[in-house]
Chain A
Amino acid sequence: MKSYSLRRNWKGYVLVVPACVAIFCVSIYPMLYGISLAFQNYTLTKANAEDFRAFIGLNNFWSILKQSEYIQACQNTLFWTVTNVAVQVALAVLIALALNQNLRGRGFFRTTALIPWAVPSVIAALTFRFLYDSNVGVLNVLLQKLGILEKGISWLGNLETARWAVVVESIWKGTPFVMIFVLAALQSVPHELYESAKADGAGPVRCFFAITLPMIKETLGIATILTTIGTINNFNAVWLMTQGGPLGSTEIMFTYAYRRAFSAHNFGEAAAVCVIMFIIIALCTFVYTRLIEEEEA
């Protein structure tokens, strides 16, 4: 089993090659194709023009950098990612810490806390759209009944509230996933550590920072990276609730690329945005691989 010789291992290649060919066909080839579009003049509405598909170097990149909508989408992506990741990770740690206690009905609490993770994202987004609705949404109805609001607010149609409303949905949907990770890590912290710390007179806060946090550091890192990637790629939440509106206030890079491609039909520029996103995500993935190697070591 220790040699790489083809004669001993040919069956392994027979097993692995079909999957590799499939991955190449459905993922890698389209990806390379997609990246190549970023360097071409590829506007579908001008498919008969002379310079269609001509190689234009970095022109697509320069032209998107000049668009104020793109800059806004970048800023929104930053806001969207940072708020989502910060709140989700912090909240997940709190919930996991609570659920790791010896509570009565712990199984029930754990299962219900996981429910949003299992709900399909399309359904989650449309549900929140319903809760936020200015006429029938229960949020407005309740706030009006309590006398906090006089008239219903269109939470998703309002410049000040839209981005927060979308973030709340995304936190609702995303936190349980991080929580699973943190809970698993918490359960692997040896109990004796806490007992000896308690014997030395350390309080719960001190215990958390001195024992728990260092022990779950790697897991937190991994969960943070995965959440970051998931949030940058979260098209469904934004598109199904606001389509990037009002006035581009919830537009993220993903929806911007989508709009450039399928509303403006400018595939070249859309691909350029995608390539930038891809680089950011590849960097995150690189950190992620480092972290899992560290955890395995």
Chain B
Amino acid sequence: MSRKKGLLTVLIYLFVSLVSLSAVIPLIYVVLTSLKTAGQIFDVDQIIPTSITLENYVTVLYKAKFMVYFRNSLMVAVCTTLVCMILSVCAGYGMTRYRIRGSRKLKLGILYTRMFPSVLLALPYYVIMRNLDLGDSLLGLILIYCSFTLPFTIWNMQTFFQQLPWDLEDAARIDGASRTTALFRVILPMARPGIVATGLFSFMTCWDEYMYANLFISSTSKKTISLGIQSFIGEYSTDWGCLMAATVIALIPIILFFVFAQKNLVGGLSAGAVKG
């Protein structure tokens, strides 16, 4: 019996190691490739390079307009997230603390808007953006990005607010605090993990968006990072070294967030997470 159990434990360790390896290896290989010269990338014996170079990073940062793309993505993601978070924190609080007629139906409606196939919105937006003359602009992109982040943030904030211990607010108010004071002193500190997680997730979704950006952005100076990375893939040849260096750079904010908010992220999102 105990030998059988020992074997099972070994198998489990093998399995989780395999899972971890297959999760990490593609990314390690990306980093390795980004540090190789063009010659090394094509060299079968240099899978693990014997010497490394930062040439690709220099090219990406200085010769390609990657910093512009990075800045554009940052701007679109931050603006979208700010707008959505302000709207949804207000709405979440209002829906939880006041009696709103039809708020149940409202919540269901929001859930459905969260599930739309985005291509269904791409068609009308193509026409609308042309009519509003927002075709090739970051403002237009921010507007469109709200269409998928806003339902998500409202839903998440609402579910999160519902789980907060509101008795504490009532207690504070009995002690003489105004509603506003109670909100800022008692509720918001408790709601912070949920707000942070939702905001970060919204940022990540915007950072990762490709379809709309590809459709609406045509000028180089307005490209976002997703388009920028893809631009290293040519019709006939692809600069893999630069592509992988660009990938690593694009991953930096995501890694920072993940490290910074790992605990919040899993806990704060499991309430109403949607596949990203």
Contacts and interface: CB of A to CB of B under 8 A. Distances in A.
Interface of A: 1-4, 8-9, 11-16, 18-20, 22-23, 26-28, 30-31, 33-35, 37, 94-95, 98-99, 101, 103, 108-109, 111-123, 126-131, 133, 135-136, 138, 141-142, 144-145, 172, 174, 176-177, 180-181, 184, 204, 226-227, 229-230, 232-233, 235-236, 239-240, 254, 257-258, 261-262, 267, 270-271, 274-275, 277-278, 281-282, 284-285, 288-289
A9 B116 contact: no
B270 interface: yes
Interface of B: 8-9, 12-13, 15-17, 19-20, 22-24, 26-27, 29-30, 33, 41-42, 44, 47, 83, 87-88, 90-91, 93-95, 97-101, 103, 106, 108-113, 115-128, 143-144, 146-147, 150-151, 154, 204, 207-208, 210-211, 215, 226, 229-230, 233, 238, 240, 243-244, 247, 250-251, 254-255, 258, 262, 266, 270, 273-276
A20 B146 contact: no
Given A9-B98, A95-B19, 16 more contacts: A16-B94, A18-B87, A18-B91, A22-B87, A22-B150, A28-B113, A34-B124, A37-B124, A109-B16, A112-B23, A112-B24, A145-B44, A181-B273, A239-B210, A258-B119, A282-B112
Nearest to A36: B124
Given A126-B233, A236-B210, A19 B154 contact: yes
A15 B210 contact: no
A249 B9 CA distance: 42
A90 B154 CA distance: 31
Contacts of A176: 23
B202 to A, nearest CB: 14
A20 B91 contact: yes
A198 to B, nearest CB: 12
A261 B204 CA distance: 27
Given A18-B91, A229-B275, A12 B124 contact: no
A26 B94 contact: no
B20 A109 contact: yes
A148 B87 CA distance: 57
A181 B270 contact: yes
A13 B98 contact: yes
Contacts of A230: 274-276
Contacts of A119: 27, 251, 254
A229 B12 CA distance: 31
A266 B227 CA distance: 25
A1 B99 contact: yes
A81 to B, nearest CB: 13
Given A18-B87, A30-B124, A130-B243, A257 B119 contact: yes
A43 to B, nearest CB: 12
A289 B111 contact: yes
Contacts of B275: 174, 177, 226-227, 229-230
Contact of B274 (A122, A226, A270, A274): A226
A34 to B, nearest CB: 4
Contacts of B146: 22, 26
